[in-house]
A and B are shown apart, each in its own frame.
Chain A
Amino acid sequence: MQPKKRKKQATATLRELFVAWFKIGLFTFGGGYAMLPLIEREVIDKKGWTDKEEILSIYALAQSVPGVIAVNTSIILGNRLAGVRGAVVAAAGVMAPSLLVIMAIASYFDYIMKSVYVLQAFSGIRAAVVGLVAAAAVRIALASLKDKPAYAIALTAFVLSAFTEIHAIVIILGGALAGFLVYYFGAKGRAED
């Protein structure tokens, strides 16, 4: 089964896919959501492989299936742009920096962990990641919050995720149920009135 061609189907060579995901893997510190700002820059702004709103659906999918979120995201986009081969190449791209960096430092672990210069540089990087993720969160909120039910769902998800131990997948499934009730059932109910 091949994905249906969409109106403005973006294309990518395997090399482009590998390089873009390699960059994302190389400059993501902390994994998961810290990857968002880089994905936005490489995949949305530069390449136009997806847009700010659709990336949320892709993220939801990536978080709801087994595996590493960054790898899952690369597989979804790689598969869309170049089929199974694209999925494999994108996943290899996002994991390759880990392989290279970890193997390079595996023998010098203790030394690196004790270096004060390394800690200083990483304190700077950590602070930068806060700014990057905050900027991405604002952009995404502006792109995805279009009506009152959307605000209510986002606020509920935020509160549940920030203040309870409820797993993200449960919150996503709750959003799916709320979406079904509000936008399908609700719209149908209004149409029948």
Chain B
Amino acid sequence: MLMAFWHLFAGFFKIGMFTVGGGYAMLPLMQQEIAKYGWITPAEFIDMIAIAEMTPGAIAVNTATFAGFRTAGVLGAILATASLALPSLLIIVPLSNFWEVHRDHPILKAIFSGVKPAVAGLIGAAAIYIAETAFLYDPLLAKKDGFPVDLRSLLIAGAVFVAVRRLKFDPIKAIIISAVVGLVVFGF
């Protein structure tokens, strides 16, 4: 049992330490570690990705929780997620302290003046990727023939956009209402 805990710690610490960019960038290394230690079966890993996408939270954190829970129960789940986040804590705390102190230095200011629009561009691309995934590859709606994008999905997305952007609607309420609306309108 102690060995199982050690493997969970070592495996997820390594995953947290050696992947930059989060999310899907972590999956290949996670797959390797899972194969090495046999926390879950490859089939469960595929199912897990689907579940992780559907449940709240970051995908890598969800996968860590699942693998830890299957291997060693609640303690295993906590250990796996904590191990995943530990490298971030060790690296970021000193780095962001440095940034807070020196952020007004002309060179750092200039660098971040270039980084900010680059991130804005990345967010724009991510918005398109998210739209593509939701509209074209929805597991429930993708099989339908005819018009490739489901009109009901488009209407929900448009309504949420207007509500949040123009009416300052709370995103959490928008998500809850959309779940209920989805339950009703996609039932037909």
A131 and B117 contact, Cβ closer than 8 Å, known pairs A99-B65, A121-B182: no
Q: Mark B15-26, 1 if CB is under 8 A from A, else 0.
A: 011111111011
Would you call A132 and B182 a contact (CB within 8 A)? no
Would you call A134 and B93 a contact (CB within 8 A)? no
Q: Mark B123-161, 1 if CB is under 8 A from A, else 0.
A: 111111111011100111100000000101110111111
Would you call A154 and B58 a contact (CB within 8 A)? no
From residue 147 to 193 of chain A, which have CB atoms closer than 8 A to chain B?
A: 149-151, 153-162, 167-169, 171-172, 174-185, 187
A145 and B54 contact, Cβ closer than 8 Å, known pairs A65-B88, A102-B77: no
- Pick the contact of A1 from B59, B74, B94, B139 — CB < 8 Å? B94
- Pick the contact of A26 from B56, B106, B177 — CB < 8 Å? B56
B29 → chain A closest CB, angstroms? 11
- Pick the contact of A131 from B21, B61, B122, B156 — CB < 8 Å? B156
Would you call A29 and B54 a contact (CB within 8 A)? yes
19 A–B contacts, CB within 8 A, in A order: A32-B22, A34-B130, A38-B172, A57-B116, A62-B92, A63-B22, A65-B92, A66-B19, A70-B61, A95-B58, A103-B77, A106-B69, A122-B54, A126-B153, A127-B182, A130-B157, A131-B157, A169-B21, A172-B119
Quick check: is B50 within 8 A (CB to CB) of the other chain?
yes
A5 → chain B closest CB, angstroms? 9
Would you call A123 and B182 a contact (CB within 8 A)? yes
Would you call A178 and B114 a contact (CB within 8 A)? yes
Name, among B20, B66, B69, the residue most crowded by chain A CB atoms within 10 Å (CB to CB): B20
Would you call A33 and B126 a contact (CB within 8 A)? yes
Query: Nearest CB to that of A58 among chain B residues?
Result: B96
Judged by DSSP, the binding face of A is helix
From residue 47 to 69 of chain B, which have CB atoms closer than 8 A to chain A?
A: 47, 50-62, 65-66, 69
CA distance A95 to B171 in the complex (A): 19
Would you call B138 and A153 a contact (CB within 8 A)? no
| Shortest beta-carbon contacts, A-B, top 3 | A124-B182, A179-B114, A175-B118
- Pick the contact of B116 from A60, A158, A168 — CB < 8 Å? A60
Query: Nearest CB to that of A40 among chain B residues?
Result: B171
A184 and B110 contact, Cβ closer than 8 Å, known pairs A65-B95, A130-B134, A135-B165: yes
Would you call A70 and B124 a contact (CB within 8 A)? no
A28 and B58 contact, Cβ closer than 8 Å, known pairs A33-B127, A131-B157: yes
CA distance A175 to B123 in the complex (A): 14
Interface residues on A, range: 35 or more
* Chain B residues at the A interface, C-beta cutoff of 8 Å: 16-23, 25-26, 47, 50-62, 65-66, 69-70, 74, 77-78, 81, 84-85, 87-89, 91-101, 103, 106-107, 109-131, 133-135, 138-141, 150, 152-154, 156-165, 170-172, 174-175, 177-183, 185-187
A184 and B119 contact, Cβ closer than 8 Å, known pairs A101-B55, A103-B69, A135-B164: no
Would you call B91 and A67 a contact (CB within 8 A)? yes
- Pick the contact of B123 from A53, A101, A136 — CB < 8 Å? A136
CA distance A153 to B124 in the complex (A): 13
Quick check: is A17 within 8 A (CB to CB) of the other chain?
no
Query: Nearest CB to that of A112 among chain B residues?
Result: B51
B180 → chain A closest CB, angstroms? 7
User: Cβ of B23: which chain A residues have Cβ within 8 Å of it?
Assistant: 31-32, 68-69
Known: A61-B92, A153-B121. 19 other contacts (CB 8 A): A3-B96, A3-B100, A34-B130, A37-B171, A38-B171, A65-B95, A66-B17, A70-B22, A71-B84, A75-B92, A91-B85, A125-B175, A127-B157, A130-B127, A156-B121, A174-B118, A176-B118, A183-B113, A184-B110
